[in-house]
Chain A
Amino acid sequence: MLQRLEHLLGIEDLTREQISFILDQAKPFQEFQRHPLKKLATLRGKTVALAFFENSTRTRISFATAAARLGADTMNLQAESSSLKKGESLLDTVRTLEAMRPDGIVMRHSSSGAPEFVAKRLGVPIVNAGDGTHEHPTQALLDALTIRDRKGQLEGLNLTILGDVLHSRVARSNIHLLSKFGVRTTLCGPAMWVPRELETLAPNVRRVTRIEEALDGADVITALRVQTERLHEPALAAEEYILRYQLTPQRLQLARPGALVLHPGPMIRGLEIDDAVADGPQSCVLEQVTNGLAIRMALLYHLVGGAAVEPPPPGKVPDKAQ
């Protein structure tokens, strides 16, 4: 029997079976995104709180849309308007939110571990929408779904992650997830952003210094965003980054034919990725966004739709569009 998820706090503690289950559950929701009338009644009467203690546009809109398409109502809490700015503790803020009886809380926070902190103290399912430099599990799930669709399976693939891996929650979640499926991961970026301890995160993770070597044999390439807000770190000149690590069409040719290019967004064209690659046939960037909706619908369906115990039949939408 598959362990029913109470929360989605990270990928690290999920089993391969649980991950496959979520990816399978997302399949009908992928189909659904092409439906002309994108509204289900599955979560009608349910409320999903979107607690974004750290700014987010893409992820927040994706969760809000996923909730809306499932028929749920949403409550919004945003960093700028949050009472945290007025000195309220996180615990008091989320307890206030809980008192409004949401059926699930989607939470983003700049502190690693904040969703776990909240999950241990509230009785509401918590979905981690990114915590500090720890995990971003829904991004890893939508990336896995994208890769599995294009490559048929995850097993045996070579993944290359480029950029600021140290500060990337996306990278950590991706490494945890894909490693469970036997994917070999190569990390490459400026040395201070790719510390050797990253190799201990999961099996089959290695670091290489030169991008040419990192791309050799790659089936999937994830270019991470160069986080310009990390200015308190010793700044690296953008020109240096471009010279050594930008994903260009020439460099992409070193990867396996048909290698996929992923980017968690927002993308800075001309910095970590060249236009021609971002818009090229190997790019999955927009597919990732659409798959994000499917993954988030599947998760909300599973975590918030407490009554719905049975997964939807494969290939079929779980409820007729309204």
Chain B
Amino acid sequence: MPTTNDRLLLLKNGRVLDPASKTDARHDVLVHGARVVRVGPDLTSGDAEVFDATGLIVAPGFIDLHCHLREPGQEMSETIETGTRSAARGGFTAVCCMPNTQPVNDNASVTRSIIERAAAAGTVQVWPIGAASVGSEGEALAEIAAMKDAGIVGVSDDGKPVATARLMRQVMDYCNSLDLPVIDHCEDPSLFAGGVMREGPRSIRLGLKGIPAESESICAGRDVELALLTRARLHIAHMSTTAALEYVRHAKKLGMRVSCEVTPHHFTLSDEDVRYDTNYKMNPPLASRADRAALIDGIADGSVDAIATDHAPHHPASKDVEFDRAPFGIIGFETALALTLGELFHTGKISLPRMVELFTTGPARVLGIERKIAVGSPADLTIFSTEHAWTYHASESPSKSRNTPFDGRTFRGAPVATIVGGQMVYRCERVATA
């Protein structure tokens, strides 16, 4: 951790969008060291470094609730260092890494080592998610309390669902007592049954084994029922179906602490886009067009709490195989904001303040923390353009992996600077500012 940082940084003339205080105004933000010290119009500070944010949005630091950094154990695909650099380029100031590493993050020593490696990398903050069960094998409870002391912010057996309703009930009861959210990858293994894409006309045409939408929604229904029973905090990961969304809506109506996230690829693409290209293979699979539309409605009406990337790096050779043999997942940090702007904001489906919520206060609420731009708050800030035109080239990414269906796509809007604890960990050279 950087110990002393007395630097003054003045962000001039940006549009400050702070969902927590409902601020949407042309303001300056003065950062001293790791904290915001002043917010207001026409600030001056003689010896501050000035960043001209004219024409840009200044938002609280973006949080990604769902990513895979692959360390320890799968460093061929990604490391904490390369993954967090990629996250910084995507405008994220904090990322939650899932526990399906090798070894699985199911005990405090793995948790501590992840946090230490992230601090050494010195870019964005890494908030680990601990496994719910030992080895994520769905039998015994993991050392959740010890991991919480070490720094986990939630638990999940991501990559697979918490195996049984009985175990899920125990995990929920226990996590409730520790005030941790339980994050579930909703899937019914018997319906999933070796599928590789969403079941539907496209899977039939391609001759690829389909996964019915009900694989997700049946598990989401189970989890919502159990959350009702246990009063636990439940968060549904990478939600992709209308029926699962309906369970979340129902739970919210009952006042339950149930939340969910949607990935940019699920609101951008549908199963009709799938071809024999393993960059279209992810889990949950790309949904039907109707489900995609329902997810966008859910994002717009507040039913969806957060946009999360599910950044899932796989080294090129592992993806350059037959479709049904490839691992699931795509990288996503660097395209998340641009896809959200392009698919949801520029199309008029959501407002800019709503979009900022989905990357800041939304995920923060899931984790039970605050996210705001106010005097005294940590200087974790994301500065972005809604207009900058650019082309995404996966080959330029600091990530070790290249598995994305968005390579070569042109975008309108991009992260311009990422500030973590007062340090600018990413600055987009292509966008000219003073």
Contacts and interface: CB of A to CB of B under 8 A. Distances in A.
B324 interface: yes
Contacts, number: 59
Contacts of B321: 89-91, 117
Contacts of B317: 89
Interface in A129-155: 131-135
B208 interface: yes
B365 interface: no
A113 B208 contact: yes
B314 to A, nearest CB: 14
Interface stretch (A195-203, A219-227, A289-297): A195-203
B322 to A, nearest CB: 4
B206 interface: yes
Given A112-B276, A117-B276, A134 B206 contact: yes
Contacts of A198: 204
A169 interface: yes
A132 B207 contact: yes
Nearest to A109: B322
B270 to A, nearest CB: 15
B207 A133 contact: yes
Interface in B199-240: 199-201, 203-209
Interface string A102-138: 0000000101111011000000000000011111000
B204 A197 contact: yes
A302 interface: no
B322 A113 contact: yes
B409 interface: no
B204 A200 contact: yes
Interface string B318-332: 001111110000000
Interface in A171-206: 172, 195, 197-198, 200-201
A197 B324 CA distance: 20
B204 A112 contact: no
A112 B201 contact: no
A172 B206 CA distance: 10
Most B C-beta atoms less than 10 A away, residue of A113, A132, A166, A198 = A113
A131 B207 contact: yes
Nearest to A198: B204
A201 B322 contact: no
Nearest to B317: A89
Interface core residue of A91, A112, A114 (most chain B CB under 10 Å): A112
A198 B203 CA distance: 10
B325 A111 contact: yes
Interface residues of B, number: 18
Given A109-B322, A111-B322, A195 B276 contact: no
A116 to B, nearest CB: 5
A134 B200 contact: no
Interface in A236-261: none
B186 to A, nearest CB: 23
B203 to A, nearest CB: 8
Interface residues of A, number: 24
Nearest to B204: A197
A197 B325 contact: no
A169 B325 CA distance: 19
Contacts of B199: 197
Contact of B322 (A12, A90, A133, A135): A90
B214 to A, nearest CB: 14
Contact of A111 (B201, B320, B323): B323
Given A89-B317, A90-B321, A112 B207 contact: yes
B320 A112 contact: no
B201 A200 contact: yes
B204 A113 contact: no
B205 A116 contact: no
Nearest to A92: B317
A166 B204 CA distance: 7
Given A111-B322, A111-B325, A132-B324, A197 B200 contact: yes
A34 to B, nearest CB: 36
A12 B205 CA distance: 9
Contacts of A201: 201, 204-205
Contact of A169 (B200, B207, B208, B323): B207
Contacts of B204: 166, 195, 197-198, 200-201
Contacts of B208: 112-113, 132-134
Interface string B300-337: 00000000000000000100111111000000000000
Nearest to A114: B322
Given A116-B276, A117-B276, A111 B324 contact: yes
Contact of B324 (A12, A91, A112, A200): A112
A20 B209 CA distance: 32
B196 to A, nearest CB: 9
Contacts of A112: 206-208, 276, 323-324
B201 to A, nearest CB: 4
A131 B200 CA distance: 19
A50 to B, nearest CB: 19
A197 B322 contact: no
A20 to B, nearest CB: 23
Nearest to A10: B207
A200 B201 CA distance: 6
Contacts of A131: 207
Contact of A91 (B205, B209, B320): B320
Contacts of A114: 322
Nearest to B324: A111
A91 B319 CA distance: 11
A180 to B, nearest CB: 15
A197 B322 CA distance: 24
User: Which of B207, B276, B320, B321 counts the most chain A CB atoms within 10 A?
Assistant: B207
A222 to B, nearest CB: 17
A119 B209 CA distance: 22
Contacts of A111: 322-325
A140 B316 CA distance: 36
B251 to A, nearest CB: 31
A200 B203 CA distance: 11
A134 B207 contact: yes
Contacts of A90: 321-322
Contacts of A195: 204
19 contacts: A90-B321, A111-B322, A112-B208, A112-B324, A113-B206, A113-B322, A116-B276, A117-B321, A117-B322, A132-B207, A132-B208, A133-B207, A133-B208, A133-B209, A134-B206, A172-B207, A197-B201, A197-B203, A201-B205
Nearest 3 interchain pairs by C-beta: A113-B276, A134-B207, A111-B322
Given A90-B321, A197-B200, 13 more contacts: A12-B205, A111-B322, A111-B324, A132-B207, A132-B324, A133-B208, A166-B204, A169-B207, A172-B205, A197-B199, A197-B201, A197-B204, A201-B205
